[in-house]
Amino acid sequence: MKKEVILGSAYLAPVEYYTKLFAYDTVYVERFDHYMKQTYRNRCVIASAGGDLALTIPTEKSEDLKCLMKDVRISDHGNWRHVHWNAFVAAYKQSPFFDYYADEFHRFFEQKYEFLFDFNLELCNWICEQIDLHPHLLPTDDYITSSDDSDDFRELIHPKKLYAECDPEFLPKPYYQVFDQKNDFLPNLSIVDLLFNMGPESLLVLRDSIVTHE
């Protein structure tokens, strides 16, 4: 496997994304790609009592048709911070570790961030601290073109693409979920699903979700 990986910015990215942070020596997080809706850039998926639930951060409309990710501003529309927080509480208040992380996690939804990229990156850094993951994260200084030196998952880790087809290195290891008796195991949800259910053991689940080829 190559030493470097290129990822897009993502809001509480799925487990697959964090296996890349575990597996690669250097992680480039793209800031200069064109912003697209209906991606993990502003959407995460959690497990609710009714099944998987997508939470989306509204963004300000840009006058530039091709707005760069680094320039995307978060909108206050729809009181989304309150809505998302309530969804997390409803989904995870019965999980083993939610109370342990809740106060620090809540701060991200009390503070107003101007730019989506900054919000996503600070959340990612916080998650990594909680699970004792220490990736070498480098926000890009310019758009990176794909090369033989790095693996590029910018467009492959996507809510509308099947990880089984796009990423043979990723095989999600089942873990306890609050509603698994009702919904069965839901793979590749947001990293917070893993964190709140498994706590410090999240790192082991990430490790065991990576396929190693002899």
* 7 pLDDT above the threshold of 80: yes
Identify residue 214 by its one-letter amino acid code.
E
Question: Helices (H), strands (E): how many in the chain?
Answer: 8, 6
The sign of the CA dihedral 3, 150, 158, 138 is positive
Q: Return the structure tokens found at 100.
A: 């342990």
Between CA 176 and CA 180 the distance in angstroms is 7
The pLDDT tens digits for 43-98 are: 999 999 999 999 999 999 877 768 999 999 999 999 999 999 999 999 999 999 99
Question: Given this model, what pLDDT does residue 209 score?
Answer: 98
Between CA 185 and CA 100 the distance in angstroms is 23
Whole-model pTM: value is: 0.96
Which DSSP helix (H) or strand (E) runs through 102?
helix 98-107
Question: Given this model, what pLDDT does residue 61 score?
Answer: 86
Mean pLDDT of 127-143: 97
Q: Return the structure tokens found at 193.
A: 């699903």
Question: Given this model, what pLDDT does residue 1 score?
Answer: 63
Give me the residue label for tokens 């809540």.
106
- 115 or 145, which is more confident: 115
Q: Specify the long-range contacts of residues 77-86, CB closer than 8 Å, at least 24 apart.
A: 80/56, 81/109, 81/110, 82/109, 83/55, 84/55, 84/57, 84/109, 85/109
The pLDDT tens digits for 9-48 are: 999 999 999 999 999 999 999 999 999 989 999 999 999 9
Question: Given this model, what pLDDT does residue 207 score?
Answer: 97
